[in-house]
Chains A and B, each alone.
Chain A
Amino acid sequence: MKGTIALCLAFLAYPFVFSNAFYLDIGVALLLAAISASAWNIVGGYAGQVSVGHCMFFGVGAYLPLLVYQHWQLPPIVGVPVGIAISLVLAVLVGLPTFRLSGHYFSMATIAVAELIRLVVSTWDFAGAAIGLQGPAVGRGWYDLTFRGELPYYFIFLGVLVIVLAVTWQVQRTRFGYYLRAIKAGERAARSLGVPVRRTKLYALMLSAAFTSVAGSLYAIKTGFIDPDSGFGILVSVQMVIIAALGGAGTLYGPLVGALILIPLQTATNTWFGGGGTGLTYILYGGIIVIIARFEPGGLHEMWQRIAPKLWKRHAA
């Protein structure tokens, strides 16, 4: 509890301590990454159903606000609930057939559906095809959520992150959360003990999809621009997976820890290597993912739990 309060205070204080645009920008990117990775974590971490196509929910969430603006001049925020609704439908469409089968099917299906949607969107003129969509350049009122500075976005994102983590925490404590962990530990055993396996996995995916969609919406509203690759590109999914897995998939703060490490690292490689840095960043991502999978599938969380007691012992001696 003390840790949580300290963490909250640190995040509240951050924009006032590091008030220049560069650091504020990192803060905003970090919060967004933490939101989407925490959303992924519900199904990928707690339930152990590894989605590698979560960008489909992110993209839907990102496109809808700008679609309603582009076609009907509605404030982008109107698109957020629509995005959530479509993401939920999508979650059911992907989850229902694949959750009957082994976990590999689910992973394969997510990546294929995400790629299918990306291809359709990039040829669909209504959704801006390959060029993408733009949001309002100048806000017509507060409801357009176009702010000059980064500060309002920082606090909106922080609020959403708190909600996602609060819901995750609540999930962890309830029967639903225990079901999820039972499924992760062994599906057959869970089923034999009366856990409604398919339904539980589906609910987890839907919850995760809804939050991921919100993350996409936040991204699009803040950036004011979306195209098929920044919405539905495989790298969007990669970022969620790697951040959650690095910090510790299936733990409350794992994704946040992952974001705290990876986002500054990414900014650093991009600044050091300039434009050519993006390629190197993804080589680094691939390398980190392989190393986590090979040596530390529990992420930093488990590593810390193993190392910490030894450190204490040394101090005591």
Chain B
Amino acid sequence: MLLLQVIVGGLLLGAIYALFSSGLTLIWGMMNFINFAHGEFVMLGMYVALLVVVWLGGGPATFGFAAAVALFVLGVLVYGSLIRHVTRGPMLAQILSTFGLALLLRYTAFWIFSANIVSLPQTSLGGTLNILGILVPVAQLVAGITAAVLTVAMHLFLTGTTIGSKLLAVAEDRNAAMLMGIRPDRMQALAWGLAAASAGIAGALMAISYPWSPSVGETFGLMAFVVVTFGGFGSVPGAMYAGLIIGLIQALSAFYFGPIYKDIVVYGLFVALLWFRPQGLLGKA
């Protein structure tokens, strides 16, 4: 029973990994660009949730929405002011741009919020459910399911709507898309907004159940790399499966080897994967 509980917990957290990783993979798929600040977007989502709760009050729906909107705006701003100018530049500029942004965001957060670990005050999602003997905290259940629904929604948005098709068209061939009357710049700005928003909501969802400090961005950023590599670069469904798998692996290694080893196991798998299957477990060769 305990094992089942660990598995359920891992999958629920994994669904949130899937959500923010789908943002990273979207950017990669569209512009062959790695965002080193993606984990910092998740971290900012957490602090947005905290600020909304402290200043305005309101439940998870309110601060989740606020985090999504705030991060969407940030994502578009980052694209317009920084990324747009470096994508055609040298590799050094591409990598340094978001790497520097990550430092800037992380240490500004340190400066404003201090290095202390914080957590949200008790939300309306308290209590624990007992499903056939498996104890699941309500907050984690709601957060995990919300994340899964949003990830699926993102996939459906990309594959089933006109705007989504335009996004994918730009990803496929920027010039051809331009000839079809699509403005690649707008679509890429939208992709950055969506990616950042997915990170922001994911952050807000995790903030409900887990305490954090400004340094979590680094961990989540690396976690997103791992998930995206597992799922194959540029694939949202791949990120979804991989997120669940990584969440599960993490929970099981914490259970069997102890909590300090959970990240070591995941990063170790990542390195092994780079060696043996760099296109990802689910990616095409």
Q: Known: A97-B275, A112-B267, A283-B111. Contact between A238 and B103, CB under 8 A?
A: yes
Give the contacts of A86-140 with B (CB-CB under 8 A).
96-98, 100-105, 107-109, 111-113, 115-116, 119-120, 123
Judge whether A241 and B90 touch: CB under 8 Å: no
The 25 listed contacts between A and B (C-beta, < 8 Å) are: A45-B92, A48-B91, A50-B91, A50-B95, A52-B36, A52-B95, A97-B278, A101-B278, A108-B34, A108-B229, A112-B271, A116-B270, A184-B90, A279-B110, A279-B111, A282-B107, A285-B107, A286-B100, A286-B101, A286-B107, A287-B100, A290-B82, A291-B100, A293-B92, A294-B82
- Is the beta-carbon distance between A286 and B278 smaller than 8 angstroms? no
Say whether B107 contacts A283, CB under 8 Å: yes
Looking at the assembled complex, report how far the CB atom of A91 sits from the nearest CB atom of chain B, in whole angstroms: 14
Q: Is B32 an interface residue (CB 8 A)?
A: yes
The verdict on A82 contacting chain B, using a C-beta distance below 8 Å, is: no
B274 touches A293 (CB 8 A): no
Q: Which residues of B contact A115 (CB under 8 A)?
A: 218, 222, 267
Question: From residue B8, how far is it (CB to closest CB) to chain A in Å?
Answer: 26
B-side residues, CB < 8 A to A, are 28, 32-34, 36, 81-82, 85-86, 89-97, 99-108, 110-111, 218, 222, 225-226, 229, 260-261, 263-264, 267-268, 270-271, 274-275, 278
Indicate if the CB atoms of B32 and A107 lie closer than 8 Å.
no
Q: Is B107 touching A279 in the complex (CB atoms < 8 A)?
A: yes
Which B-chain residue is minimally distant from A237 (CB atoms)?
B99
> Given A107-B95, A245-B96, are A290 and B104 also a contact pair (CB < 8 Å)?
yes
Q: What B residues does A294 contact at CB under 8 A? A: 81-82, 85-86, 93, 97
Q: Give the complex CA separation of A51 and B18 in angstroms.
A: 26
Bitwise interface map of A from 41 to 82 toward B, beta carbon under 8 Å scored 1, else 0:
000110011101000000000000000000000000000000
Partner of A241, one of B82, B96, B260: B96
**Are B264 and A116 within 8 A (Cβ)?**
yes
Hey, which chain B residues are within 8 Å of A107, CB to CB? 34, 36, 95
Q: Please, which residues of chain B bring their CB within 8 A of the CB of A100? A: 278
- Assuming the contacts A48-B90, A50-B95, A285-B103, asked whether A109 and B274 have C-beta atoms less than 8 A apart, the reply is yes
If A109-B271, A116-B267 touch, does A283 touch B96 (CB 8 Å cutoff)?
no
Q: Report B36 CB to chain A, min CB distance, Å.
A: 7
Q: Bound complex: CA of A103 vs CA of B32, how far in Å? A: 10
- A234 contacts partner chain B, Cβ-Cβ < 8 Å: yes
Chain A residues near B102 (CB-CB < 8 A): 286
Min Cβ gap A209→B in Å is 16
Question: Does chain B have a CB within 8 A of A292?
Answer: yes
- Are the CB atoms of A44 and B92 closer together than 8 Å? yes
